[in-house]
Amino acid sequence: MQLYNKLSAKEREALLDEAGEERLTLSFYKYAKIGNPQLFRNYLFIAWDALDVLGRIYVAHEGINAQLSVPAKKFEKFKSFLDSIYFLENVRLNIAIEQDDKSFLKLKLKVRPKIVADGLNDDTFDVTDKGVHVDADRFNELIEDPNTVLVDMRNHYESEIGHFKNAVTPDVDTFRDSLDIIEADLSEHKEDKNLVMYCTGGIRCEKASAYYKHKGFKNVFQLEGGIIEYARQIENKGLENKFLGKNFVFDHRRSEQISNEVIAKCHQCGEACDTHVNCANEACHLLFIQCKSCAEKMENCCSEACQEVIQLPYEEQKRLRAGKKNSNKIFKKGRSPVLKYKSMPAETA
């Protein structure tokens, strides 16, 4: 039985074009004790492949973290399947604000040590002793309180294009990097301040809130459903939008527009821009911000060196990148020295 995706992204994209069906991009997570993650992973793959579900899903002993694209006409079947799993019944689904039928082009289900790489030893604290979940209305009230410290639990390349006003935006490349930095910076306010956190969909705050309570913070809050659910609630309830710019998302869309402000700049010319791209040179694939003018001038590349590479025959390009594996640790997502206006240490808005 096939338990892995066998189609390339281009082949899947062609099938999506041929089908011409509306799809829904959504995400969810759930911390739960899973005895056999591999068996559960295979069970999900068989069911979701039959429903034409695409996406990136991580399964671990501690739960599941899923970002998906589901055919709209099969959504009810998908929801019924989730509800048939006891710990996923009525799980909150974060439906994307901006839909794209090609947000995901493969179904990737992976077993991981953790559903979010937090670097924490969960045996040292009670992961169920979480902070208070708040909706958009209460969140807006809290962040206007002078007794509140608002912290963005995302990475620098995410907060660079969008964040809540007055938020502390740690200059970090990974979630695990931010945990100790935030604790150190706020060590004098563990008892006298409200620690209010937010992230994309809520999953990072879920673990972080328990960790900070363990570390002695007395008043810990987290935005329920993250930025995605906040955007939905402010529209439905007519609340004031306190988010500036775009929300970075981890699929082919790369971002969702939450407000009209453009708070970032092109990494190549410095003009106002908040569009993330990947370098056209597949041996590089650097994630950076590039405006339309620079995209045309640089042929969607991050540097002249990469421009030279993409002019080579495809087989020669394959030869040059053979045996090399690029990673976010190498390029630091927008911190490459080839970028004149690369992201600098984040500042409070």
Kindly state whether residue 329 falls inside one of the protein's structural domains. yes
One domain, residues 141 and 164: yes
**Burial of residue 69, with CB atoms counted within 10 A of its CB: 0-12 exposed, 13-18 middle, 19 or more buried:** buried
Q: Which two tokens stand for residue 276?
A: 């993330």
Kindly state whether residue 106 falls inside one of the protein's structural domains. yes
How do strand 287-289 and strand 276-278 relate by DSSP bridges? Answer: antiparallel
Task: pLDDT band for 110, please (50, 70, 90 cuts).
Answer: very high
Mean pLDDT, residues 86-101 taken together: 91
| Residue 301 is among the residues annotated as catalytic for this protein | no
pLDDT tens per residue across span 288-308: 999 999 999 999 999 999 999
One domain, residues 104 and 138: no
One domain, residues 228 and 307: no
Catalytic option among 199, 279, 302, 306: 199
Q: What is the mean pLDDT of the chain?
A: 90
Look at 39-43, 102-106, 226-230, 304-308 and tell me which has the smallest mean pLDDT: 102-106
Task: pLDDT band for 348, please (50, 70, 90 cuts).
Answer: very low
Q: Is the pLDDT of residue 344 over 70?
A: no
Q: Please tell me the pTM assigned to this model.
A: 0.87
Q: Which two tokens stand for residue 228?
A: 């995605």
Task: Tell me how far apart the alpha carbons of residues 40 and 64 are, in angstroms, rounded to a whole number.
Answer: 10
* Predicted local confidence at residue 327, as pLDDT: 61
One domain, residues 180 and 207: yes
Query: Residue 201 is part of a domain; what is its CATH number?
Result: 3.40.250.10
* Predicted local confidence at residue 102, as pLDDT: 87
pLDDT tens per residue across span 217-230: 999 999 999 999 99
Q: Is the pLDDT of residue 53 over 60?
A: yes
Task: pLDDT band for 14, please (50, 70, 90 cuts).
Answer: confident
Is residue 80 within 8 Å of 74, Cβ to Cβ? Answer: no
Identify the CA nearest to 265 among candidates 163, 340, 172, 319: 340
Q: Is the pLDDT of residue 43 over 50?
A: yes
* Predicted local confidence at residue 332, as pLDDT: 64
Q: Is the pLDDT of residue 346 over 50?
A: no
One domain, residues 224 and 310: no
Mean pLDDT, residues 21-31 taken together: 94
How many structural domains does the chain have? 3
Domain of residue 307, residue span? 264-349
